[in-house]
Chain A
Amino acid sequence: MSTDVWVLIEHQDGAPKKISLELLGHARVLAAQLGGKAVAWLAGAGVAAMAQTLGAHGADVVVLAEHPLLEPYTTEGYTTALAGALTGAGAPIVLIGSTALGRDLAPRLAARVGAGIVTDCGGLALTDGRLEAMRPMYTRKAIGTVAFTADGVRIAVVLPGVYALPEHEPGRAADVHRATFSLDAGQIRTSVRETKTIERETVPLTEADVIVSGGRGMKAPEHFALLDALARALGAAVGSSRPPVDSGWVPHDYEIGQTGKTVSPQVYIACGISGAPQHLAGMSGSKYIVAINKDPNAPIMQMADLGVVGDVFDIVPKLTEALKRETRKT
Chain B
Amino acid sequence: MKIVVCVKQVPDTEAPIRIRPDGQGIDETGLNLVMNYYDEHATEAGLRLREQFGGTVTLVAVGPERSREALRTGLAMGADDALLVTDPALSGADHLSTARVLAAAITPLAPDVVICGKLSTDANAGIVGPAVAEFLNLPQATAIAALEMDAAGTVATVHREVEGGIEVLDVPLPAVLTVERSLNEPRYPSLPGIMKAKRKEIGVRSLQDLGLAGETVGGAAASTRLVRLDPPPKRQPGRSVDGEAEEMVAAIVTFLKHEAKVIS
Contact = CB atoms under 8 A, between A and B. Distances in A.
B51 interface: no
B130 A322 contact: no
Q: Give the 3 A-B CB pairs with smallest separation, nearest first.
A: A116-B223, A252-B182, A150-B223
Contact of A149 (B134, B157, B224): B224
Contact of A306 (B126, B140, B241): B241
A322 B257 CA distance: 12
Interface in A259-302: 259, 266-267, 277-278, 284, 287-290, 292, 296, 301-302
Nearest to B166: A196
B152 to A, nearest CB: 17
B169 interface: yes
Interface string A80-115: 000000000000000000011101111110111011
A309 interface: yes
Contact of A206 (B163, B241, B248): B163
Interface in A120-157: 120, 132, 135-150, 152
B17 A329 contact: no
B172 A189 contact: yes
10 contacts: A75-B142, A106-B127, A117-B223, A119-B124, A142-B17, A150-B224, A305-B255, A323-B253, A327-B264, A328-B262
A100 B250 CA distance: 38
B229 A143 contact: yes
B169 A146 contact: no
B241 A145 contact: no
Interface stretch (B81-89, B192-200, B206-214, B231-239): B231-239
B263 A326 contact: yes
Main secondary structure of the interface of A (DSSP, over half): mixed
Given A108-B130, A290-B255, A309-B242, A195 B263 contact: no
Contacts of A210: 262
A276 to B, nearest CB: 10
Interface stretch (A29-37, A44-52, A217-225, A312-320): A312-320
Contacts of B39: none
B143 interface: yes
A144 B95 contact: no
Contact of B140 (A75, A120, A278, A289): A75
A197 B164 contact: yes
Given A100-B160, A110-B96, A204-B164, A147 B225 contact: yes
Most chain A beta-carbon neighbours within 10 Å: one of B37, B161, B249: B249
Interface of B: 11, 13-14, 16-17, 19, 26, 37, 94-96, 99, 121-131, 133-135, 139-143, 145, 157, 160-172, 175, 180-182, 222-233, 235-242, 245-246, 248-253, 255-257, 259-264
Contact of B130 (A107, A195, A289): A107
A193 B122 contact: no
B264 A326 contact: yes
Nearest to A112: B134
The contact size tier of chain A is 35 or more
Given A76-B139, A143-B231, A191-B170, A99 B163 contact: yes
Given A306-B239, A329-B264, A107 B163 contact: no
Given A107-B127, A252-B182, A310 B242 contact: yes
A227 B55 CA distance: 47
A183 interface: no
B227 A145 contact: yes
A176 interface: no
Given A189-B171, A209-B262, A329-B263, A137 B224 contact: no
Contacts of B13: 138-139, 258, 277-278
A138 B26 contact: yes
A175 interface: no
A162 to B, nearest CB: 14
Contacts of A304: 238, 240
A146 B19 CA distance: 15
B143 to A, nearest CB: 7
B245 A310 contact: yes
A171 to B, nearest CB: 29
A307 B133 CA distance: 46
Contacts of B94: 116
Contact of A141 (B17, B161, B166, B171): B17
A141 B26 CA distance: 11
